[in-house]
Structure 1
């Protein structure tokens, strides 16, 4: 599908074809993968089953992405094989690939070195070595690993080094290991994509979540990445966004690789809207639908900021980058502007009027979309009959239906009284935020759903249609509700709104899930690991009080979530006035049908 090379491709491909070393400086998203992969493929010898090309990438995600590109570009080369080797995956599948024979290896430095030292990866036949995003490998502490690989590679091999920035250690590597390289810099007035609109918001740390949710509600977004500093922050922010009704999941280095890959795939396919990630976990992510990048926490340097916002505005698409700063960080904003050579617009937190205007606009659009896309004949006849029987005007009936769709939640956000705002600010300083009501258009109050701790706090009775389960992880294991929600959502394939109360005790956790769990999902959850321990899921019965020797627990209420993307009849923005519930594995639309049943004991699927 390529018909015209990007500037970096036009510059680099001739040098790559000639076998000359290359030192290229270019911002992310400019097409550099094709710039080195296409000329490499034109020279590779498919009859030789030993590794001829090694590509080093800083992260698993980038390694997987580059390997897929090679596979796609070389699909018509008979006998061509690519191996992606990276940490977090079992060695055996990688060993099988290497034993079978491959021409191209794409991997992270640590795992590549492991295979070299084991003798399972022979670099003696390398014809070309590519260092992709070299500055990120430097930032992540891979400098010595990169030098090790360079020293183990044969004399005369071609080296192509790509980097968005060229700090001193990278220039030193180029001087020491590259032979008279062609130095290529894609000239640009800025090192960030011109298609990315950059903005900054000055906000206190306790108001960041409030600011984030307001912006997400007011602006038209597609895929969103929120960058935080720590792994714990990813879980905390993702949990709070989920409580606000957003489809949000954390992505950090503690997650198993399979879960990380599945999460990114969900983001690409539109099943997930918001990814909350650390810098390390999001390196190399290439998801075209990313419309917004939020720097929730200040990056550790300007180069990291460049890489973060490079996740949006890719391949000529427009993108939005917003950074949250405190008043004490104004100086850092100047540093970022000096690095990017672009001014950053200062904005304010959206007002209550802005939010209500957005809610009204979205409500009207939902009516337009549903009336255009759905067959409403049944409801039209029913409402006409009701109007004739009662004499009520259509406007009143429509208003009643709209009120019913709110499920008791206020549609418009109200200004908080000054005293209440001050009290809420004090709550925020203790980790409690308040904002609106509870679906995408109507946010819920964090204060109502925040963790509470007290000795012997009674649990709520198990609701109809739910089953209570016991998990063998608790506070003493360092588990947090976000860990459990993420594990259940990913492994069981269940939307967040159908996860009931989570009560974390000292040595175990109680969680309510829809009844009728299929045996395969039950066994999967039993074997799932969270916080370094197996969940060992088992039914707990209708527990009402749980004192655990007088120890307290935190009861996390998971009710009031918006309709998930695949819940009964609604889409990710809630384009329905109602909709049925979904049990495990049931993705049926709310069209009056009944979902298939699956038995485990006396449990059955609930009707869709």
Structure 2
């Protein structure tokens, strides 16, 4: 069997689970030169590393035996950064070691510590836990490490990012020095290699991934969108891909609550994960995703650390990640264990350059496309309906009786129309989005510095420039400290346009005129009509053909306006 030389009881468990071939990291830890050694493994999340270190521990815990002896003090300790990951690891090791008769306990924050104490006292073979809870049990004398033969640090880079270095060092110092130490990490920054040098002996380094290496099984898409249409775009993305599981990342708890509410209102089966939820609420949300009652999870970065959800085929970045590492960590929730996944980055028009720089830093080649349109979604729905198993399964006698009764009173076309309507009624309706200009679909950016033109150097006719542009005027000028340095970002924010779509700016004493590219003028005009809570006193009007209307007399204060 390809998984040899793992113990026979583990091989049976793998066979029953349908494992035919090991993943690269699983094959690497089973090589003869890995046996009974400390291991320093860099492997991406979702590469099958939990089973990998479970197999690597097999000979250490079982030797030549097929089953464990009576459970007393634990023989192995697995440390994970989050409650969710620790509980997931416990489940994985339970089925892997079930035939070996192993007892696997979890000790995690947010759960009943007294119950954990009773289970530890009753004896076990493997303990999986989070750093803080494990250290607490050790210091209270409730977790006996005297028999430990191996310690595993899972997602070590995340544990250091979360500030667990002191807890990790306390646990490792308390464990017997004669033990195996297996360190698994997605990346190997100097903090991790320093930890390895201190606590590992003659460690074998297994490099399955390099630092900042993009996930190969993930298709990246960048989708420019008007900021006010971001939530509608998310609706269409979820509808277009129709993944069995999807996670949408937001920056704050408030954004999570708002988006979850909007998606629920539109008919999606959605749950939320944020730091304010209790452990019971988090467990219920995760169980809903695992058993299929919910198909979408809206979460913050912190709440989603260490999540491993089955069949997660889609990740949506509702807000741009802060850096390349966050982008890769979020996206790594999909494309796991050989499965393909899609990661969609929503890019507000006025943050195009920031998104390009983020993708370049992460060394990710994303396909730039507009969000799916309502028409594209309806076409895809039609194709899905045509391939439904309902249309291909053999008919039963009851099915034929019902079909003939319908066709006795209705035409075949009427019945087909009813089927299409029924199919649509079960799905959230797609959203109509503002068409995007062609130029926003290619990641190009003008590098020329824009200079304001003199007031007497205007367009050939009012209301539109001779080069395919539209002119707008604002009721602020030099008297209000109007300056291109704040006018440009203000116009991008208010009009949902990019810097490249702004042409000439003419600044007079009490007003200014702004040239907007014609392909963006409709979007700009629609956006500026919406109320603005930040700068209510600033008015923007499109110039009418045939003349330049004077601004209304109710002028703004002379202080420089705040543009956010």
Structure 1 position 334, deviation (Å): 3.1
Match of 1:231 among 253, 258, 273: 253
> What does residue 240 of structure 1 align with?
262
Counterparts in 2 of 1:59-74, with a 5 A limit?
59-74=82-97
Larger mean Cα displacement after TM superposition, 350-359 or 90-99: 350-359
Match of 1:144 among 158, 166, 176: 166
Structure 1 position 51, deviation (Å): 1.6
Distance across 1 between alignment mates of 2:428 and 2:169: 60
Give the RMSD, CA atoms, in angstroms.
3.5
Deviations 1:218-243 (A, max 9, x none): 23422111122222322221111111
Distance across 2 between alignment mates of 1:410 and 1:127: 53
- Does the alignment pair 1:281 with 2:303? yes
> 1:53–1:129: 8 Å Cα contact kept in structure 2?
yes
Distance across 2 between alignment mates of 1:428 and 1:348: 26
> What does residue 319 of structure 1 align with?
341
- Does the alignment pair 1:355 with 2:377? yes
Counterparts in 2 of 1:437-516, with a 5 A limit?
none
Structure 1 position 423, deviation (Å): 6.1
Question: TM-score, with normalisation over the residues of structure 2?
Answer: 0.67
Distance across 2 between alignment mates of 1:268 and 1:151: 37
Distance across 2 between alignment mates of 1:410 and 1:286: 26
> What does residue 72 of structure 2 align with?
49
Q: Structure 1 residues 189 and 181 mapped into 2: Cα distance closer, same or farther (>3 Å)?
A: closer
Q: Structure 1 residues 190 and 254 mapped into 2: Cα distance closer, same or farther (>3 Å)?
A: closer
> 2:256–2:298: 8 Å Cα contact kept in structure 1?
yes
> What does residue 208 of structure 2 align with?
186
Larger mean Cα displacement after TM superposition, 355-364 or 254-263: 355-364
- Does the alignment pair 1:87 with 2:109? yes
| SS of residue paired to 2:29 | helix
Distance across 2 between alignment mates of 1:175 and 1:70: 27
> 2:148–2:179: 8 Å Cα contact kept in structure 1?
yes
> What does residue 169 of structure 1 align with?
191
> What does residue 196 of structure 1 align with?
218
Structure 1 position 412, deviation (Å): 8.5
Match of 1:122 among 121, 129, 144: 144
> 2:235–2:430: 8 Å Cα contact kept in structure 1?
no
Structure 1 position 320, deviation (Å): 0.6
Question: TM-score, with normalisation over the residues of structure 1?
Answer: 0.62
> What does residue 259 of structure 1 align with?
281
Distance across 1 between alignment mates of 2:392 and 2:229: 35
> 1:30–1:315: 8 Å Cα contact kept in structure 2?
yes
> What does residue 27 of structure 1 align with?
44
Distance across 1 between alignment mates of 2:421 and 2:275: 44
Structure 1 position 56, deviation (Å): 0.7
> What does residue 585 of structure 1 align with?
none
> 2:236–2:377: 8 Å Cα contact kept in structure 1?
yes
> 2:29–2:56: 8 Å Cα contact kept in structure 1?
no
Distance across 2 between alignment mates of 1:77 and 1:267: 30
| SS of residue paired to 2:206 | strand
Q: Structure 1 residues 159 and 75 mapped into 2: Cα distance closer, same or farther (>3 Å)?
A: same
Q: Structure 1 residues 397 and 14 mapped into 2: Cα distance closer, same or farther (>3 Å)?
A: closer
Distance across 2 between alignment mates of 1:335 and 1:406: 38
- Does the alignment pair 1:100 with 2:117? no
> 1:67–1:84: 8 Å Cα contact kept in structure 2?
yes
Larger mean Cα displacement after TM superposition, 104-113 or 21-30: 21-30
| SS of residue paired to 1:214 | helix
Q: Structure 1 residues 168 and 427 mapped into 2: Cα distance closer, same or farther (>3 Å)?
A: farther
For structure 1, which runs of at least 5 residues remain unmatched after alignment?
A: 388-392, 431-608
Structure 1 position 3, deviation (Å): 3.8
Structure 1 position 101, deviation (Å): 0.7
Structure 1 position 55, deviation (Å): 0.8
Deviations 1:355-410 (A, max 9, x none): 342344455556964986785456545544545xxxxx554576578669878x99
Structure 1 position 209, deviation (Å): 0.8
Counterparts in 2 of 1:408-423, with a 5 A limit?
none
> What does residue 26 of structure 2 align with?
9
Distance across 2 between alignment mates of 1:321 and 1:197: 6
> 1:59–1:280: 8 Å Cα contact kept in structure 2?
no
Deviations 1:302-327 (A, max 9, x none): 22322222221112111111112334
Q: Structure 1 residues 105 and 394 mapped into 2: Cα distance closer, same or farther (>3 Å)?
A: closer
Distance across 1 between alignment mates of 2:162 and 2:313: 26
> What does residue 574 of structure 1 align with?
none
> 2:236–2:430: 8 Å Cα contact kept in structure 1?
no
Structure 1 position 131, deviation (Å): 0.8
Quick check: which has more Rg, 1 or 2? 2
Distance across 1 between alignment mates of 2:264 and 2:338: 31
For structure 2, which runs of at least 5 residues remain unmatched after alignment?
A: 1-14, 63-67, 436-520, 534-564
Counterparts in 2 of 1:209-224, with a 5 A limit?
209-224=231-246
Structure 1 position 210, deviation (Å): 1.2
Deviations 1:245-282 (A, max 9, x none): 11111022332323322322322222211111222322
Structure 1 position 132, deviation (Å): 0.5
